[in-house]
Copies of this chain bind each other. A is one copy, B any other.
Amino acid sequence: MTSSKVSREEKGPIALELAKKQKSISVAEFFEKNRHMLGFDSLPRCLITCIKEAVDNSLDACEESSILPDIYIRIRKVDDKMLNIVVEDNGPGIHKDVLPRVFGKLLYGSRFHAIRQSRGQQGIGISAAVLYGQLTSGKPARITSKIDSKLPAYMYDLKIDTETNEPRILSERIDEFFTSKGTRIEIEMEAAYVRGRQSVLEYLKNTSIVNPHARFTFIDPYNERFTFERASDILPKKPVEIKPHPRGIELGTLVKMLQVTDIKKLSSFLNSEFTKVGGYTAENICREANIDPNMVPHDLSMDIEGVKRLLGAFQKIKVMSPPRDCLSPITEDLLKKGVIQNCNIDFIATASRPVNASRGNPFMVEAVIAFGGDIEREGKADIIRFANRVPLMYQQGACAITHAIERINWKHYNMEQPKNAKLPSGPIMVLVHIASTNVPFTSESKDAVADIPEIMDDVELAVRQCARELSRFLSEQKKALEARKKIRIFESYTKEVANALSVLTGKDEAHIEARFLDILNKKYSKFIEEIPAEDNAGGE
C-alpha cells in the first residue's frame, strides 16, 4: 500500500505541483501591489490621500480626548517628483508601545470593532501612507509623539516589512525639541502639489466647513501660509459606543455572538447584547421565534433553524430605532456657519433627516444647498460630499450621494437642467453629509459611498427639502426682478406725468413727483431693498 502510494506521488498528479505554489499573501504585500485601491494612484491624489489619512487620525484622537484640534500641515518639495509631508497635531499623543504598529501595520487600530461614528474605521489609512512613502522614496516615515507634558517625546523612524505586515523600527530616540503634547508624522513620497479642484486647499476648506471646531494651518511648497480658523469653540458631542441593533444583524454574526457569550439565558442575552432591546421586547422576540427564553444561548447557536427563526422575529417584533448619540452630526446651524464662513453666497438652505439604520448601522443625512454669490455660474452644480466629517474628494461618479442627487428632476425646483444632463446648471452648490457608525465605502480609499437604498433615499429627501426652499427663493427673486423692471419704467415716466398733472391741476410739479416716488417706495420697497443690483439675480 505504502509503496504504491509513494509511486503515485512520484509520478505526481498536476495538483501536487500546483499545491507547492500555494502560499499566504500578507495584507501589506496585497496593498503594495494594489495601492490604487487605497487611493494612491495619480500623483496629486497620493498627496491628498496621505494628508487626509493623517488629518483624520488627528481629528479623531483630539475629539476622543476632548481637545480642540489645532493641526499643522506642511509640504516641501524635495525634487521634481518627491514631496516631504508633515502633519502635526495637539492631540493626546500615542503611547510608545503601540505607536510602531499604529503607523507600521495595516489592519491595526482602535475603532474597527466599536459601533460609533469615527473618521478612521479600518486601521489601514495612515499605514498605507507609510507603505506608499517607503515604496516610492525608499525612506522610512518619521513619527514623533508626546503623551504628557512631563514625559519626553519619542521619535521613531520606521518602515513596514511587507512580507510580515509588521513595523520595522530603524531608529528610536528621545526628541528634545518636541515640546508640546501631540503627534507629528513626516513622510517623503512621490506626489504632486496642484491648485484648484481636488487640491490640498480645497480639501482643507471643505474639512474646515464640516469641522468648525478645528483650526488648520497650512504651509504650501512655496512657503505661503494659509490659516483656516475655527468657526466654533465648542467641541462636537462625543459619539457614544453602542451595542448592535437587532434589525440588520446577519445570521453568521448572530451565531458567533451566541457562541461566545457568557450569559446563560437567551432573553438576558438579547437584553444586554443588543441596543434598544428591553426585557419585555426580549421576551416578545423569543415568543415570536417560538424559542424558550430560558434557553442557553450557546445551545441555540448549534441549531441553525432556531437561529433563523430568531432572526425572523428580529424583523417582526417592533424594536425602537438605534439611538442618535452614537452619531455626531454637524447640525444645520454649524453647517450654515461653516459654509458662510468659507463661501460668498446669496442663498442657503439646510435640512437634516432623522436617524435611520441600514444593516443594523445607524446613519443620518444632512444637506445644504447654497446659491449665487461667488459660486461658478457656468456648467453644472457643484456637489460637495462628506462622510463622518471627512470630505470625499474623488470618485464623485461612483458615489451614492451623487446618484441620489441625479434622481431629482431639477426643473421642478425652478432650476435649469439641460436635456440628458443629470445635474442642474447654474451657480448652485449641493453639500451632503452622511454620519454613520459604519459608512459603506465602495473601496478602502474611502472616496465613494456604496449605493445602499436606505441611504440614497434619505439623501434624496434631504436635498429635495433644501431644493424646495431654493425654488421659493428663485421664484420670489423672479417676481422681484419683474417688479423692479416695472418700477424702472414707471420712474422713467414720473417726470413727464408729474409735469402733465401740474399743467392740468395747477399744482407744484416737484411736489407731485415727490408724491409719486413716495408711493412707489412704499409699494415696492421690499423688492428694492432685496436686490441691490440687477446682475445679482443669477442663474439665468
* A102 partner residues in chain B, CB cutoff 8 A: 22
Contact between chains at A107 and B450 (CB < 8 Å): no
Segment of A198-206, A324-332, A437-445 engaged in the interface with chain B:
A437-445
Bound CA span A27–B105, Å: 12
* A251 partner residues in chain B, CB cutoff 8 A: 135-138
Segment of A267-275, A288-296, A413-421, A465-473 engaged in the interface with chain B:
A413-421
* Contact of A21 with B by CB under 8 A: yes
Copies in the complex: 2
The interface bits of chain A over 26-63 (1 if a CB of B lies within 8 angstroms of the residue's CB, else 0) are 11011011101100010000000000000000000100
The interface bits of chain A over 407-433 (1 if a CB of B lies within 8 angstroms of the residue's CB, else 0) are 000000000001111000000000000
Segment of A91-99, A381-389, A504-512 engaged in the interface with chain B:
A91-99
* Contact of A13 with B by CB under 8 A: yes
Given B26, B32, B250, which contacts A136 in the complex, CB threshold below 8 Å?
Answer: B250
A150 to chain B, nearest CB (A): 6
* A111 partner residues in chain B, CB cutoff 8 A: 21
8 more A-B residue pairs beyond the given contacts A27-B107, A30-B107, A134-B252, with a C-beta to C-beta distance below 8 A? A14-B64, A18-B64, A19-B94, A23-B112, A25-B108, A27-B27, A34-B440, A136-B252
A6 to chain B, nearest CB (A): 13
Contact between chains at A450 and B41 (CB < 8 Å): yes
* Contact of A398 with B by CB under 8 A: yes
* A451 partner residues in chain B, CB cutoff 8 A: 41
Chain B minimum-CB-distance residue to A64: B18
Contact between chains at A151 and B18 (CB < 8 Å): no
Given B27, B307, B419, which contacts A420 in the complex, CB threshold below 8 Å?
Answer: B419
Given B94, B250, B452, which contacts A135 in the complex, CB threshold below 8 Å?
Answer: B250
Check A18/B110 contact, CB under 8 A, given A398-B397, A420-B421, A443-B442: yes
* Contact of A395 with B by CB under 8 A: yes
Contact between chains at A98 and B22 (CB < 8 Å): yes
Total residues of chain A contacting the partner, CB 8 A: 81
The interface bits of chain A over 376-410 (1 if a CB of B lies within 8 angstroms of the residue's CB, else 0) are 00000000000000000001011000000000000
Contact between chains at A147 and B16 (CB < 8 Å): yes
* A109 partner residues in chain B, CB cutoff 8 A: 22-23, 25
* Contact of A8 with B by CB under 8 A: yes
Bound CA span A64–B36, Å: 29
Contact between chains at B18 and A92 (CB < 8 Å): yes
Q: Nearest 4 CB-CB pairs, A to B? A: A135-B252, A15-B147, A19-B95, A420-B420
* A238 partner residues in chain B, CB cutoff 8 A: none
Contact between chains at B307 and A24 (CB < 8 Å): no
* A135 partner residues in chain B, CB cutoff 8 A: 250-253
Contact between chains at B151 and A8 (CB < 8 Å): yes
Q: Which residues of A contact B (CB under 8 A)?
A: 8, 13-16, 18-19, 21-27, 29-30, 32-34, 36-37, 41, 61, 64-65, 92-95, 97-98, 101-102, 105, 107-114, 122-123, 134-139, 145, 147-148, 150-151, 162, 250-253, 255-256, 304, 307-308, 395, 397-398, 418-421, 438, 440-444, 450-452
Contact between chains at A444 and B92 (CB < 8 Å): no
Bound CA span A36–B438, Å: 12
Given B26, B92, B308, B420, which contacts A14 in the complex, CB threshold below 8 Å?
Answer: B92
* A105 partner residues in chain B, CB cutoff 8 A: 24
Chain B minimum-CB-distance residue to A448: B398
Contact between chains at B13 and A92 (CB < 8 Å): yes
Contact between chains at A37 and B442 (CB < 8 Å): yes
* A147 partner residues in chain B, CB cutoff 8 A: 13-16
Contact between chains at B450 and A110 (CB < 8 Å): no
Bound CA span A29–B95, Å: 25
Bound CA span A373–B211, Å: 57
Looking at A24, A64, A418, A440, the one whose CB has the most chain B CB atoms below 10 A away is A24
Contact between chains at A108 and B23 (CB < 8 Å): yes
Bound CA span A22–B109, Å: 5
A198 to chain B, nearest CB (A): 14
Given B113, B114, B123, B307, which contacts A138 in the complex, CB threshold below 8 Å?
Answer: B307
Q: List 26 A-B contacts (CB under 8 A).
A: A8-B148, A13-B92, A15-B95, A15-B145, A16-B95, A16-B147, A18-B61, A18-B92, A18-B94, A19-B97, A23-B108, A23-B112, A23-B113, A24-B108, A25-B107, A25-B108, A25-B109, A26-B107, A32-B252, A41-B451, A41-B452, A135-B250, A135-B251, A137-B304, A397-B397, A420-B421
